[in-house]
Amino acid sequence: MKNTPEPQRDTTLIFHPYNIIMMLSIGSLTMIFLALTAAFMYSRIQNGAEMPDIELPFIFIVNTLILLGSSATMHWAKKCYLQDETENYQLALIYTMILSIIFMISQYFGWRELFTSEIFINSNLSASYLYAISILHFAHVIAGLPFLALFLYTARKRMKEPVSVLVYFSDPEKRLKLRLLTIYWHFLDALWIYLILFFFINSII
């Protein structure tokens, strides 16, 4: 038996505290990163000589594809949840975690490539901004992993019998939490794309 379509189920939870917290968090993070990129532009205008162009390592572009993949698998997890597809739901969560971990490992190698080129966080203002912004984004990817792990743990623990599966998939609060986690993952993806484009454009103008 399929669940009721999502829009009808989530309407009553639109003013749920979790919704409000997520929207405030995303709004705050957006303002922080916009402020950092605006500060970068201001500093570049004021201190052009101290802010040489930095060519982003190619692995930063690869990381964009990895994050897009994790965003897609997170969307798949939400879709499987709404369609009561137990095994695929768990599989989608596992893939999302794996891709997120691959992103973090890949990001480490991106920073290592910068080190190899003797570009350190204190080398110049451009490097300082690049490291600060990418590390801050990295920290928010890490912050999302415990929630993914909790969803996967709960799913594997409770999806063993037909009755427990039914209870799990019909829980409106759990459905809301999954929707918000999906939004958060899409936000991190969109934010990374914005940052990559921002630094790329600034390196060619």
Whole-number Å distance between alpha carbons of 17 and 38: 31
> What pLDDT, in 10s, does the model give residues 4-45?
444 444 444 567 788 889 999 999 999 999 999 999 999 888
> What pLDDT, in 10s, does the model give residues 42-82?
988 887 666 788 889 999 999 999 999 999 999 999 999 98
Checking if the pLDDT of 89 tops 60, the result is yes
Read out DSSP for 160-183?
A: TSHHHHHHHHT-HHHHHHHHHHHH
Instruction: Report pLDDT for 10.
Output: 47
- In the chain, where are the structural domains located? 14-204
Instruction: Report pLDDT for 195.
Output: 95
CATH of domain 14-204: 1.20.120.80
Instruction: Report pLDDT for 46.
Output: 85
- % of the chain surpassing 90 pLDDT: 60
Which amino acid does the sequence have at 106?
S
Whole-number Å distance between alpha carbons of 170 and 166: 6
Asked if 131 and 121 count as a contact pair (C-beta separation under 8 A), the reply is yes
Instruction: Please report, for residues 41, 56, 75, 119, 156, the alpha-carbon distance to residue 46 in angstroms, rounded to integers and kept in the order given.
Output: 9, 22, 43, 21, 55
Cβ-count burial 160-169 (b if 16+ within 10 Å, e if not): eeeeeeeebb
Looking at residue 54, the DSSP 8-state letter turns out to be -
Read out DSSP for 80-117?
A: HHHTT-HHHHHHHHHHHHHHHHHHHHHHHHHHHHHHHT
> What pLDDT, in 10s, does the model give residues 137-173?
999 999 999 999 999 998 888 776 677 777 777 788 8
Structure tokens that stand for 81 in this block: 């949840």
Which amino acid does the sequence have at 186?
H
Nearest to 64 by CA among 191, 184, 180: 191
